Every structure is written in C-alpha cells, then in structure tokens.
Structure 1
Amino acid sequence: MIGGGLAGLLCGIRLAEAGQKCAIVSSGQSALHFSSGSLDLLCHLPDGSAVEQPLAALESLAAQAPQHPYSLMGHDAVVRYAAESERLLERSGLALVGSCQQNHLRVTPLGTRRATWLSPNEVPVSALDQPLPWERVLVAGIEGFLDFQPHLVANSLAEQGIETKIAELTLPALDRLRNNPSEFRAVNIARVLDLPDNQQLLIDELNRLAQQVDAIIMPACVGMEQADALEHLRSRVRVPLLLLPTLPPSVLGMRLHHLLRRRFQALGGVITADPTQRISLQSYRFVLATAGGMLSTVLMMPLVNFIGKGDQAFGFKGGIAVLALVAVIMLAICFATTKERISDEGTTQGSMREDLRDIIRNDQWRIVGLLTILNILAVSVRGGAMMYYVTYILGNPLVFTWFLTTYCVGNLLGSAAAKPLTDWKCKVSVFWWTNALLAILSIAMFFVPIGANITMFIFIFVIGVLHQLVTPIQWVMMSDTVDYGEWKGGKRLTGISFAGTLFVLKLGLALGGALIGWMLAGAGYQSGAATQNSATIMSIIALFTLVPAACYFLSALIAARLYTLRTPFINRILKELADGVRRNEHAFTQDMKTAEDLSHENQ
C-alpha cells in the first residue's frame, strides 16, 4: 500500500488480519494528523439534503450521483464494509461512539454542531433530534494557548440554550512552552500534561473550576498516544470532562493514526522492506524520542537546582551538559546494538568512514544539503519571528491565530499544487522559479507600512502556498541524489544520505533559532514590553522579510546553476539502474582494477 493514512492503514490491517504479508510505504504526516478524530460516512446528498440514516440513503445517492464510489460499489458492499470498519476500529483500540445506521451530532471547535458517523467518546455529542444533555457548561481554555478560542465555543453553546461560563487554566507546568509561542501547540501541551505529576495538577485545577456546572469542555491537549492518561483524568474530575479538537496538528487525529499504526505493526506488517524506502523506518524512533523529551523536561529543573545551588544560569549550563552527555552515551549504545533485519544480498558493504566519504563525494547530495539548510532557515526564522511581528508590527497579538491559520491554509493549497505543477514542468525549474518568487515577495513585504494588516494577510497566504509548494519537491530531490549516487559510484547509500540530510535540516533549525536571538538581543529587545525601540522594530521586520528573502534567493540561484538532476537526466538514471547497465559497468571496472592489481603483484 502506498500511503499510510486512513485508507492505507485500514487496508493493511484488513490484509494482515487475513494472513497476507503486506507493507505500507509512507513518509511524513498523514491527513489524520490534521483531522478532528471523527469519521464521516454520508452526511449530505448531492442536492444538499441532510442524511440521518447513511445506509438508508444509499439508493437516493445512487440516483443523484451514479458515479459516486458508493454507487459504484453497490448498496450491499457499502453496508458490509461500513459494519466491518466499525469492528476493525474497535479491535484497534479506538473508543468511538456512533453507528452506520444513524448519524449523530458532534460539537465542533467553534461550538456549533454537525452531523457525523463516528466520534471519539470524549467529544460532546447528541442525537440528531436532541439537544446536548447539559444545562450548565464551563468552557476551559489554556492561558496563552491561541489554537482554541473558548469564547467562541461558549457563545455558540449559549445560542443553543446552554448556560456557559469561561475560565482559563494557568498550569505553571506549561510556562516553558508558553514562553515560546511557536512551540505552544496542542501536541506539545499533551506531552507535558500526560506526565503523571502534571496530570494531578490538571485534575486539581479542573475540580476547582467544577463548581455549579454539569460538564467541562476543554481543548484536546491530553491523551496524546494512549487513552489511559485521558481515561484516568476523566475518572478523577467530578463532572464529565469533554474535549474539542484544536487547530492542527490535532491530538485526536494523531491518536487515531497512532492506534491504527500500532495495530498494523502488531499484526506483523512492516513500513517497508524496500531498500529505497528504508528511510521510512525512522518513524519508529519517535516513540522513544518522545519519551526522552518528556524525561529531559522532567529532569531539567531538579538538575538546575542540584547543580546550581541557587545560581540558575550555572545550573542550566550544568543540566544541559549532563543531558548532553547522557544523549551521547545513548546514541552510542543505539548505534552499537542496532542490527539490519533484512538481508540485502549483493549490496556492496563498506565501513562507516567509507560511506561518509562516498556521500560527501556526491556533489548533488552536497547541493541538496545546502538547499535544505537555506529553506529550513527561511521558514524557521520567519516562523520564529511571526509572534513578534504580529505583536509589534501588526499591533494586535490576538490576530496571531488567524495569521498562522492563513499561512497554514496556504500550505495546504501549495501541497496540492505541487504534483500538477511538476507534471507540467520539470520539478527543478518549478523549485528555483518558486524560490525566486518567494525572494521577491519577501523583499516586497519589507516595504509594507506598519499596520497594513490586510495586505500582510494576503502576503502571508501567498507565501504559505509557495513555500509548501517547494517542500515536497525538495524531499523528492533528496531521493534523487540517492539514485544519482548509486548510478555514479555503484553504491546505494539510502540510510546515510537521508540521515545526513536530516542532520543539516536540524542544523538549519538551530541556526534559525540562534539568529533570532542574536538579532533581537543586539537590537535591545525588551521581553514583555508593550513597545520596542526603533532598532528592535527594524530587526523584527528584517527577520520576517529580508532574512527569508536572502535564503530564498540563494536557493533559487544554487538550484538553477548547480543542481543537475532534472527530469530527463533522472529518468535516464532510473532506467539504467533498473536495467542493470550501470551496475554491470561498475562491476566490469572493479574486475579490471582487481586484475591490474594482481598483475602488478605477480610482476
């Protein structure tokens, strides 16, 4: 199966349960990461009429839309597969409410209600003809968390006849995230709140607020990967605790993906045994990486207090040093104990030093590495400076959520446009032309007057489209350098190629964060101040516009002048690799070299 989203995972689970050997080829995030966690079957017919009973409406759907997939499958197949999907989801550990026989209403992140098929059991729901079963509801936001707007939810619920109150959870455990708006997202919040000590603090806070209300509604920022933490939390709060999805990435959608993926892996499936897709297996490391991040968070302040003895600056240095030393030791153990599970007969074996030497000799890999640093530097600097820009240039920190949402909508459209554009033009041409256009737009943004909010919204939307247009192209270019390396040197280095690219990607992120700190500190930025001096204002504008512009311009120039793996050339490479032409040439060359060496030895 190509694709590890809902369709690919369900297909893989069904085949694995039937005893078939199967693999899912997948990379990056699926659409589930951006979903509400609820699933629709059939909520409206093409004529706009609402559907109460999805299976009973299949005949009407076939009459109005005979080419709809359900119509082509046939009534009986849809009925059978819908019921089978419900059972499969249950076997995967998902606690969902609903039935294919009858739609129900779920509360949306805005507090309105919409029809759906299946919903997580922690989401507030009601029957189609019934109101919500609570008279008094507390809507609890999280202080400083902009991806959930409790007043919008409360207003919508009030219009439905429910008495609502609004409160904010302060939770000091979130202060570290709160101080960095770019990290203050539902996923990171859940990783902190799922820790046992922090969960008890959350329980105490919710019970304090659970006075004279029938239920509490809060953003879905708990129960990241397992329902145990969520169920424990809900069982300890005095009134029903209900969750609403937030802006993506969505905890509810990610948990759905995680449980389906875990079910597939438990059945013996692999993500994938194909050597050209081996990099996808890196996703296994994120489970322990998440646990390591949680552990380092928990240990940091005790280490600071123990080492610093009152001197926090020295304590943080010592704490970071200890964690860094532990990380080095664990990485060494990981490397020493990791074994290849798949025999790859006929592949040339070499030492780590030889692989590093060969990958550095790959001129196109070096170019893509440089492009990766430049593009991640552009997006990390602009993203890191966005909150400062909205606060001090647009003059209203409350519009940050909408500003970021506008950028994300542009990202979605850019992702969708990548394939048709690269079908029409060579991906390298699309890449460098898009980077050039991004550079021009970023420079133009520098001259937008302070307070021209509508203009900046338009700019950030267009930039969101264009930047996300080049991102999937860049990952394809990374893969192309692996094929080029094998074609040129006779040695395929998939793993170390992608590992090296990921390294330079992380390097770009680090440089971006450091650059923001350096420029703001040099300009005299005052944390928490209502206004900033003119040098700081100019630095913020430059970070948001000119620095990304320089990165995009260099990317366009390098890709146009130095990157040679255009579509006709890469197609030729792939064909020769598939036909074994280059492999035979390399083998012949190696045999001749061996013969010459033996001849010299005999002489």
Structure 2
Amino acid sequence: MTQTSQKLSIKEKIGYSLGDLAANLVFQTLITYLAYFYTDIYGLSPTDSSIIMLVVGLIAAFVFNPIIGVLADRTISKWGKFRPWILFTAIPLGIIAILAFSTPNFSYQGKVIYAVVTYMFLLLLYAGNNLPYSALSGVITGDMSERNSISSYRFVAVMFAQFFVQVFMLGIIKSAGNGDKAVGIEKVMTALAIIGTIMLLITFLTTKERIIPKPEQKSSVKEDLVDLMKNKPWLIMLSLTTLVFVTLAMKGGAYVYYFENYVDKQQLTAFIQPILDSLTQIGLNHFGNDPVSAGFGLFNAGGIIFMIVGITLSKGLANKYGKRNIFGIFLFISTLFILGFYFLPPTSISLIFLSQILHGFFYGITIPILWAMIADVADYSEWLNNRRATAIIFSAMMVGLKAGLSIGGGLTTLFLGYFHYVANAASQTETAITGIKLLVSVFPAIPFLTGCFLLFFYKINKEMEVKIEKELKERRS
C-alpha cells in the first residue's frame, strides 16, 4: 500500500465538498419532493407512487450499487480508481435529473412507465457518481483527524444544498411556474443540473487519490464478498445506514404534507410575518407570498442552520470521545424531538419550529460521523485482511442509503394511501391528518431508535480507531 503526505489543503477539502453539494441538489430533492411530485404535481396515485419508489429503489440499491462498487475497485486509470467515475457521470446525471422531474403529457399508464424509466436511470447514474465519490474519501487520506475534517467540510456543503432545496425550493417552484408547479419544477431542476455538473467537474480537478493498493494486494470479487461477510462492523453500519435514511426519507417527504394539511395557516402567517418583514428589509425575502411555502421554508431553515452548528462541533467531539459514542448519544437525543411532533397541536407554531431547531442541532453532530465511520470500516477491513476494498465497502453503505431512501419514501406514500390522503383536496379527513402526524413523528422515530440499539454491538471505539490507524501507517510505510 503506497501513500504520500496525508495532509489536505483547504482547496482540496472545498473541492471535494463541492461534489456532495452537487449530489445533494438531486438527493435532497428526492427526499423532500419526490413523493409530493408524483402525487400532487405529476398526478400519480399514492399507491402507484409507493410501488415505483419502493421497487425501483430497491432494485437500484441491491443491483446497481454492488456492481458499481466492484467495477470502481477494479478501475485503473491515470486519474485513479474513483475520480474517473465522477468525471464521466457528471453530465449524464444532470440530464437525467431534469428528465425525472419533467411532466410529459402522456396517458396515465404512459406516466407510470415514464416515471419508472427515468427514476431507474436517475438512481443508476447517481450510484455511478456518488458511490465512487464517497469511496474517494477513504483513499484521499489515511489520517483519521484529516478524515474527520474532510467529512465536516463535506457535510457543511450538504447542508447548503439541503438549505436551498428545503428552504427556498417550494416557493421558487411556485413562482417560476407562475402557479404551475409542473412548469416551475422543470425550470428549477434545469438550473440545478447545470450548477451541479460544474461542481462535480471541479471536484474531479481538485482532488487526488493518495492511498493506492499495491498490485499484489488485488483480490477477487469472491474474496471481497467473503471479507464483507466476516466484517461485523460493516454489517452493523449497513443496517444503521439503512435505518437512518428510512427516517430521513419518511419525515423529509412528509413535512410538505404536514404544512399544507395540518399546520394552522392563520397562526403560521402571524408567526412568520415579523420574520418575513425583517428579511424583506435586508432584501432576503425569497419565499413568495404563499404562507405555506414561506412557513415550510423557514421551518426547514431553522433546522438546517442549527444542523450546521452541530456539524462544526462534530470533529472535536469525535476526536476526543470516539465516533461510535458521539453518534449514538446524539442520535438518541435528536430522536426525542422527532417524537415530540406527535403531541404538538396545529396552532403551536413556536413549539413546532423549536422542536425542528433542537432536532437539527443534535442530529447535525452525527452527520459527518456516519461517513467517517464507514471509512473506518474500510480501514478495519484492510487491517483485518491485509487487502483494501474501499469501493465495495462504500457500495454496501450506498445499498443502505438507497434502500433506506426507497423504503422511507415508499412508506410515506403507502401510509398516505392507507390513511386515505386525497391529493390537492381542500381539506383532509381526521384519519388522513393522523397519518400525516405519524409520518413526521412516531414512524420515523422507530428506525433512529433501532439504530441507537445497534451501536451497542459496534466494536470500533476510540481505542480501536487509534490502534488501526497506527498499525496501518506502519504497514503502508
């Protein structure tokens, strides 16, 4: 295993982080708006939307990601193993992102087929781009502190993407389409695709792969898979990643329904108006005149701003106490504020916003740690087997991410149908309202709590992190 200096420049850290900013312009849109797009803009039934999101998503998770992981680990080029994937998928990913959120005037059956095909290709290209991008973090440096640092840069960038998508995008969609959400979302996705493509190209140009396996350390696909099955921390992280993204997809996709159908609009308007007036005075009111869009945006803004604050604390806490302990503690605390949404009446706007802010802060501390832990699992595998298979480790985690996204998104529309939600109705039944409340509280809390329990069996603690890092440095030198 050869390596050069493990210290990274700020330029490289920022360049690397732009790749996740670009990817999350797509990913955060999938989490926040895909269910809403299919049911309330494209006109699919909740049941058909659920089937598409679940079935196509699981196919992508369990077929696309492992194949790309195997291929990426065996890629040989003058640019390295993973950077070429970022380069060659950047433009196709932008194109398919536009197509997936377009609304061609087909028959209902044609719309279903179009949704299946475009969603499948979107997930294929997303895997081809983001899986090697994620694996790149495992070979860009072997220094644990630098790895924690680059994870923090990366997920601050993620928060910026999330901030735009969840705070401004609904209002911009309605404004760009002059009330026609179908036209608006096509215009917005076109702009995001162009920006994202440029950012991915910058990531390719500014990064370098430093941890390069020696030729004699090549392994077969069978050996890689056998190594995975013996890697208990990997199995736990696969399960944990799946559970985390089930929660994120479920509550993230349900918030827009929560604001449009549950939150009291009169109280919401009264609560946010002073904020909007203040923003208007300094030229920052980009929420439009719709109180739901403005309230939804400010609600997400509060959570994201405090997520970023949490992210800034993550590196120091993880370095001092170990990733596992910090992740588990703060994931549990953040879950308590998710559960609180079930008990909040529609008129308690201040408490709704406060719960989101506190959840965002405590969950933000965990965000960079998840992917740094996965990179640690790749180190653990190399330490245990004396072979490095970075991409297949990360591909398994991408399986968890895609499976979680698909299950969470599918459950959102499935439960909406089960609780008799009617798209674009003037008012919903009490049964539908109860379902929406459960989708932002009790249902998404269950996977998070299960993940906390799994961490009791994850053995890479602070002491083992230090031991693995020291011994791998000796081997590589």
Query: Equivalent residue for 1:313?
Result: 108
Matches within 5 A, 1:276-287: 282-284=85-87, 285-287=89-91
Is the alpha carbon distance of 1:323 and 1:527 closer, same or farther for their aligned partners in structure 2, counting shifts above 3 Å? closer
- 2:97 aligned partner, one-letter code: G
> Which residues of 2 match residues 440-479 of structure 1 at below 5 A?
440-479=336-375
The one-letter code matched in structure 2 to 1:292 is I
Separation in 2 of the partners of 1:288 and 1:379?
26
**3-state secondary structure, aligned to 2:242:** helix
Distance 2:431 2:463 in 1: 49
Query: Would the alpha carbon gap of residues 440 and 330 (structure 1) be closer, same or farther in structure 2, given more than 3 Å must change?
Result: closer
Deviation at 1:465, TM superposition (A): 1.2
How far did 1:569 drift?
0.5
Letter in structure 1 aligned against 2:378? V
Give structure 1 stretches of 5+ with no counterpart. 11-23, 35-173, 181-269, 306-311, 335-340, 584-603
| Aligned mates of 2:264, 2:339 — CA distance in 1 | 21
Partner of 2:220: 351
- Whether contact under 8 Å (2:380, 2:468) holds in the other structure is yes
1:322: Cα distance to partner? 5.7
2:463 corresponds to: 568
Shift of 1:29: 3.7
Which one of 281, 287, 294 corresponds to residue 98 of structure 2? 294
Is residue 520 from structure 1 mapped to residue 416 from structure 2 by the alignment?
yes
Task: Quote the residue 1:538 is aligned against.
Answer: 434
Runs of 4+ in 1 over 6 A off after TM superposition: 1-5, 174-178, 324-331
C-alpha contact (below 8 Å) 1:279/1:498 kept by paired residues: no
Work out whether residues 25 and 280 of structure 1, in 8 Å CA contact, stay in contact via their aligned partners in 2: no
Match of 1:377? Answer: 246
The correspondence for 1:179, drawn from 37, 41, 63, is 41
Q: Secondary structure at the match of 1:301?
A: coil
Quick check: 1:445–1:459 contact (8 Å CA) kept in 2? yes
Q: Following TM superposition, by how much is the alpha carbon of 1:499 offset from its aligned partner in structure 2, in angstroms?
A: 1.8
Name the structure 2 match of 1:407.
Answer: 303
Cα deviations by residue, 1:317-336 (Å, 9 ceiling, x for unpaired): 444566689889999x99xx
Q: Quick check: 1:526–1:532 contact (8 Å CA) kept in 2? A: yes
Contact 2:100 2:119 in 1 (8 A): no
Structure 1 partner of 2:405: 509
Q: Percent identity?
A: 21
Say which SS state the counterpart of residue 436 (structure 1) adopts: helix
- Deviations along 1:549-597, one digit per CA (max 9) or x if unpaired, are 11211111111x111111111211121222229x9xxxxxxxxxxxxxx
**Counterpart check, 1:579 vs 2:467:** no
Distance in 1 (CA, whole Å) between partners of 2:314 and 2:113 is: 46
Paired letter, 1:567: K
Distance 1:27 1:327, change over 3 A: closer
Rounded Cα–Cα distance in structure 1 between residues aligned with 2:433 and 2:321: 40
Gap change, CA 1:543 and 1:358, over 3 Å in 2: same
- Paired amino acid for 1:301: P
Q: Per-residue deviation at 1:434? A: 0.9
* Cα distance per residue 1:51-107 (max 9 Å; x no partner): xxxxxxxxxxxxxxxxxxxxxxxxxxxxxxxxxxxxxxxxxxxxxxxxxxxxxxxxx
Number of matched pairs: 319
Residues 416, 271 of structure 1: alpha-carbon distance in 2 compared, 3 angstrom cutoff: farther
1:100-115 → structure 2 map (5 Å cutoff) = none
Give the structure with the higher percent helix: 2
**2:425 paired residue number:** 529
Gap change, CA 1:318 and 1:563, over 3 Å in 2 = same
**Aligned partner of residue 456 in structure 1, secondary structure:** helix
Does 2:306 match 1:419? no
Q: Which has the larger radius of gyration?
A: 1
Kept in 1, the 8 Å contact 2:379–2:388? The answer is yes
Alignment RMSD (CA, Å): 3.9
Q: Deviations over 1:365-408 (max 9, x none)?
A: 11111111111111111111111112222223241111111111
Q: Distance in 2 between matches of 1:322 and 1:28?
A: 25
Contact 1:2–1:8, Cα closer than 8 Å, also in 2: no
| Distance in 2 (alpha carbons) for counterparts of 1:454 and 1:386 | 16
Would you say the 8 A contact 1:4–1:30 is kept in 2?
no
Please state how far the C-alpha of 1:507 moved relative to its aligned partner. Answer: 1.4
Do the aligned partners of residues 564 and 282 (structure 1) sit closer, same or farther apart at CA in structure 2, a change above 3 Å counting? farther
Paired amino acid for 1:179: I
2:252 matched to 1:389? no
Letter in 1 for 2:248: V
Deviation, structure 1 residue 466: 1.6
Question: CA offset at residue 347 of structure 1?
Answer: 4.0
> Is the CA contact (8 Å cut-off) linking 1:445 and 1:545 kept in structure 2?
yes
* Aligned residue number for residue 201 of structure 2: none
Native 8 Å contact 1:373 1:505 kept in 2: yes
- Does the 8 A contact of 1:438 with 1:463 survive in 2? yes
Which sections of structure 2, spanning at least 5 residues, go unmatched?
1-5, 26-35, 43-76, 130-207, 266-291
Conserved? CA contact 2:263–2:346, under 8 Å? yes
Distance, in Å, in 2 between the alignment partners of 1:418 and 1:353 is 37
Q: Which whole-Å CA distance do the structure 1 matches of 2:8 and 2:349 have between them? A: 39
Q: TM-score, normalised by structure 2?
A: 0.58
Deviation at 1:447, TM superposition (A): 1.5
| Cα deviation, residue 350, structure 1 | 2.7
Q: Determine the C-alpha separation between the residues in 1 that align with 2:333 and 2:125.
A: 44
Corresponding residue SS for 1:369 = helix
Out of 219, 226, 233, the position equivalent to 1:364 is 233
> Contact 1:368–1:478 (CA<8 Å) still a contact in 2?
yes
Distance 1:272 1:546, change over 3 A: farther
C-alpha contact (below 8 Å) 1:410/1:464 kept by paired residues: yes
Cα 1:422–1:460 shift into 2, 3 Å: same
Look up the match of 2:334: 438
Amino acid of the structure 2 residue aligned with 1:573: I
C-alpha distance in 2 between matches for 1:30 and 1:321:
26
Match of 2:70 in 1: none
1:296–1:437 distance in 2 versus 1, CA, 3 Å: closer
Distance 1:495 1:292 in 2: 24
What whole-Å deviation, never above 9, does each CA across 1:13-42 have from its counterpart, x for those lacking one? xxxxxxxxxxx76575469x99xxxxxxxx
**In the superposition, relative to structure 1, how do residues 361 and 286 fare at CA in structure 2: closer, same or farther (>3 Å)?**
farther
**For residues 321 and 380 of structure 1, what CA distance do their matches in structure 2 show?**
19
Output the CA distance in 2 between the equivalents of 1:405 and 1:29: 19
Alpha-carbon shift at residue 437 of structure 1 (Å): 1.0
Q: AA paired with 2:447? A: C
Q: CA deviation at 1:2?
A: 6.3
CA contact (8 A) 1:441 1:459 kept: yes
